[in-house]
Amino acid sequence: MKPAIGLLAALAASIGGAAAFDVNCNSNYASYYGQNSARNQKALGEYCKDATEDVIVLAFMNGFPNILLNFANACETTFEGSSLLHCPDMAKDIKYCQSQGKAVILSMGGASGAYGFSGDSDAIAFADTVWNMFFKGKAEQRPFDDAVLDGIDLDIEGGSGAGYPAFINQLRTHFASDSSKKYYIAAAPQCPFPDSYLGTTLNSAWFDMVYVQFYNNYCGVNAYPTWFNFGDWDNWAKTKSINKDVKVFIGVPGSPSAASSGYVDGATLTSIYNSVRSKYSSLGGIMTWDCAIFNLDVYLDLNLYKLGTVQHNQYFHHHHTQGCNGQKFAICNSGSWYTGSCPPGTSCYLNGNAAVCDWPNGRSTDACAVSGGGAALSKRQDFAKVSLITRPNLRPKPANAKGSRPTRVEFVAGDIVDNKYSMVVKIQSNKSAFTGNWSIAFTLPDGQTVDSTSRGAASTGDKSVTIKSDPSSEEAKNMAAIFKITGTFTGNYALPDT
């Protein structure tokens, strides 16, 4: 088990090679890669050179069952005579990341693209295709050549929910045919519960991890503790999920510019993480969007307990041996023993080739067994009250836009403080890209005003609102536009109906 840097007061000591990803622990760190959000995205392998990452999610397969892949500048070459990406450099990096104990999974969906299944038969056939192209099957064209991924993530933000349970079941049948490695199924729902697109699938198919997007919504980490609803997802994990050991991650933006709302600083995130960890045993760790925009020095506290002098974003690589005895630890470093005690309230545990100072609450006995004196760690009962924030008038509202091209619009509640609100507007093309010269008009509920927009310019009349882009600051072609609106309201806040 490896703590996410700055999110735990913890110590990690690796012996020999890299420790493999352990899905059962609650301090895992996952992040998305491939969309070059900060325009400085490095090669995939660069993000696997230290112990920060546990899971890297490749984003995205944003078109299916007619496959369309988009990893921005990480891969721009295609197979000859085809539009399918061929990514030999990423293939080498995938293998390198896996050799460092990372799990690398492929995300399907995203905020833009053309995807979805017509029904179960369509989904089952596509599961066979995915197995052959990205896992242990065989296909003439494999985007990552002979590299074998570790799983699939569903980031479904549009279309219908048809076929996804059948897709997962068929893919897991393939996974079961290969005993040489562990495969994972993940999902990335938005925090309003239940999720608008994956709600039914989450209740009827197996998931190992759920990366809940606690941002761009009223229930994000920035709304902690009033509206933050991890309790709803913990309750789902324990009472509704097919896999009662599913792990729920706190999904956050990696910097203020990574999302329209939901960013909090490192100290605040650390406090929220520690609170969730003490209450909810379903916690799996932290997820961030995304690798390119994540600012480690700014975002994290870096309150990792250190042994001697170590780089702030590294773990401690000590060779030969280590040991635990209650709160005490001992590590052999280049022929010399270093001994010490864990911070107050924590104890030393062994997990595979790692010695870890960690809190006992919410720990999985099987995955992170106690060492020393034959002591046994009993699983705690979680009596934390479930928040059950399920305000129907605050759930995301999708609508098909009426206009010159097939477009989908979604309104998502953001911050709600006193009589002020913020709302995220997501525009997604269902087919071809739209130009930088666009506009959207909609009707506000009674008692609401619009004061500002983070993209383009807003004009209002009675209850109507029109947002018109500034073409000089837009890309020439867009599959999606996401921006934030702020304003005031009277009475009960509600999202626009259209």
- Contact partners, residue 168, CB within 8 Å, separation at least 6: 127, 185, 201, 205, 206, 207
pLDDT higher than 70, residue 107: yes
Which carries the bigger pLDDT value, residue 124 or residue 431? 124
Helix (H) or strand (E) run with residue 269 in it: helix 266-279
pLDDT higher than 60, residue 193: yes
Q: Mean pLDDT, to the nearest integer, of 403-427?
A: 75
User: What's the pLDDT score for residue 373?
Assistant: 32
* Residue 435 confidence class, pLDDT cut points 50, 70, 90: confident
User: What's the pLDDT score for residue 235?
Assistant: 96
Q: Which of 46, 80, 140, 157 is catalytic?
A: 157
Percent of the chain whose pLDDT exceeds 90:
41
User: What's the pLDDT score for residue 102?
Assistant: 95
For residue 477, the SS3 value is: coil
User: pLDDT, tens digit, for every residue of 63-86?
Assistant: 999 999 999 889 989 999 999 999
* Residue 385 confidence class, pLDDT cut points 50, 70, 90: very low
- Helix intervals (H) in 349-477: none
Helix (H) or strand (E) run with residue 105 in it: strand 103-110
Dihedral sign, CA of 186, 187, 188, 193?
Answer: negative
Average pLDDT, the chain: 77
The C-alpha atoms of residue 447 and residue 402 are separated, in whole angstroms, by 25
Which carries the bigger pLDDT value, residue 217 or residue 318? 217
Q: How many helices and strands (H and E) does the chain possess?
A: 7, 25
Q: Mean pLDDT, to the nearest integer, of 405-409?
A: 67
Would you call 157 a catalytic residue per the annotation? yes
User: pLDDT, tens digit, for every residue of 387-400?
Assistant: 222 344 455 555 55
Helix (H) or strand (E) run with residue 270 in it: helix 266-279
The answer to which of 225-239, 290-304, 318-332 has the lowest mean pLDDT is 290-304
Q: Mean pLDDT, to the nearest integer, of 428-453?
A: 81
For residue 461, the SS3 value is: strand
* Residue 40 confidence class, pLDDT cut points 50, 70, 90: confident
The C-alpha atoms of residue 329 and residue 461 are separated, in whole angstroms, by 68
User: What's the pLDDT score for residue 376?
Assistant: 30
User: What's the pLDDT score for residue 339?
Assistant: 64
pLDDT higher than 70, residue 335: no
Which carries the bigger pLDDT value, residue 29 or residue 111? 29
User: What's the pLDDT score for residue 294?
Assistant: 61
